């Protein structure tokens, strides 16, 4: 190999990027040529100086934060964009038609008080579901953990202005595991927690003086099943991710335990 070629390949040689044949040729040449050997040494010294110089810059902490917050804003805007794309479908004509519809519906709503019921139910169902999900997420399922109804029931004394019916259904495969205070429809309610294998069932209970209605399943939402009923002067809501038939079975068992008249 010539001196010119050797010197051209010195960097590749140093970087370990030459193929085997060239490497051998270079090494043979370097042994016999002092000038080329000096060139290699010099480039080696340069490389060591650069590496020793610790020339790497690290990203400032402020930059990292700023990127993270931009990402957050951009994802939030994207979600908002999706929503506004929907609104874009409504031209002013449609918007006007929609407004008329809204006015009519509101009027109808006010004229027919019976319609309030289902509307409130929808809203309440959303609240119940949110409470159920929150209780599982926030690791705040129970304020009082006990499988004994005689521990759970007295625990509510002094915390609520009513004494909720507490029944254990362990014998039927739905053991009571505890209770906690929750908040629904602007009031404090009792939440009783039951377990079905690995799944939890939240039963929300609060007084409902005039209500007697049979158990009814609501449309399942986000994979959760909801049921509501009124009995014995209480309103009940059950929320869980157990299957709809399991939940219906559970509710039937619970309904039978709570006597229709007493509290």
Give the binding site for another protein (CB under 8 A).
7-8, 10-12, 15, 17, 38-39, 41-43, 45-51, 53-60, 62-64, 66-68, 70-72, 74-75, 78-79
Q: Which of 14, 18, 25, 237 is nearest to 122 (CA)?
A: 237
Rounded to a whole number of angstroms, the CA Rg of the chain reads 36
> Shortest distance, CB of residue 79 to another protein, whole angstroms?
6
Cα–Cα distance, 247 to 228 (Å, whole number):
11
> Shortest distance, CB of residue 68 to another protein, whole angstroms?
7
> Shortest distance, CB of residue 74 to another protein, whole angstroms?
7
Percent of residues in the chain assigned helix, strand, coil, to nearest 5: 55, 20, 25
Residue 3 vs 101, nearer CB to another protein:
3
Residue 73 vs 107, nearer CB to another protein:
73
Residue 45 vs 244, nearer CB to another protein:
45
> Shortest distance, CB of residue 53 to another protein, whole angstroms?
4
Strands (DSSP E) along the chain, which ranges? 144-145, 176-184, 187-196, 199-207, 213-221, 224-231, 234-240
Do residues 143 and 179 touch, judged by C-beta distance below 8 A? Answer: yes
> Shortest distance, CB of residue 15 to another protein, whole angstroms?
7
Residue 44 vs 163, nearer CB to another protein:
44
Q: Give the sheet arrangement for strand 213-221, strand by strand.
A: 144-145, 176-184, 187-196, 199-207, 234-240, 224-231, 213-221
Residue 77 vs 110, nearer CB to another protein:
77
Q: Which of 76, 201, 185 is nearest to 136 (CA)?
A: 201
> Shortest distance, CB of residue 57 to another protein, whole angstroms?
4
Residue 29 vs 199, nearer CB to another protein:
29
């Amino acid at each position: 190999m010539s001196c010119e070629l050797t010197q051209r390949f010195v960097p590749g040689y140093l970087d370990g990027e030459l193929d085997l044949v060239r490497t051998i040729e270079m090494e043979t040449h370097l042994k016999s040529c002092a000038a080329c050997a000096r060139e290699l040494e010099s480039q080696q010294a340069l490389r060591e100086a650069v590496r020793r110089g610790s020339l790497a810059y690290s990203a400032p902490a402020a930059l990292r934060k700023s990127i993270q917050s931009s990402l957050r804003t951009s994802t939030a805007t994207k979600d908002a964009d999706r929503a506004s794309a929907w609104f874009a479908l409504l031209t002013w004509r449609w918007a006007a038609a929609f407004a008329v519809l809204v006015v009519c519906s509101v009027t109808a709503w006010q004229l027919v008080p019976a319609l309030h019921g289902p509307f409130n139910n929808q809203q309440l169902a959303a609240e119940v579901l949110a409470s159920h999900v929150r209780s599982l997420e926030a690791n705040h399922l129970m304020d009082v953990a006990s499988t004994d109804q005689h521990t759970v029931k007295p625990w509510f004394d002094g915390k609520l202005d009513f004494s909720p019916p507490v029944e254990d259904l362990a014998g039927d495969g739905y053991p009571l595991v505890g209770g906690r205070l929750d908040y629904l429809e602007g009031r404090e309610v009792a939440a009783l927690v039951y377990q079905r294998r690995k799944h939890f069932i939240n039963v929300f209970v609060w007084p409902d003086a005039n209500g007697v209605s049979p158990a009814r399943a609501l449309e399942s939402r986000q994979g959760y099943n909801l049921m509501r009923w009124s009995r014995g002067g209480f309103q009940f809501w059950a929320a869980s991710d157990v299957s709809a038939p399991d939940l219906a079975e559970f509710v039937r068992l619970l309904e039978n335990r709570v006597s229709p008249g007493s509290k």
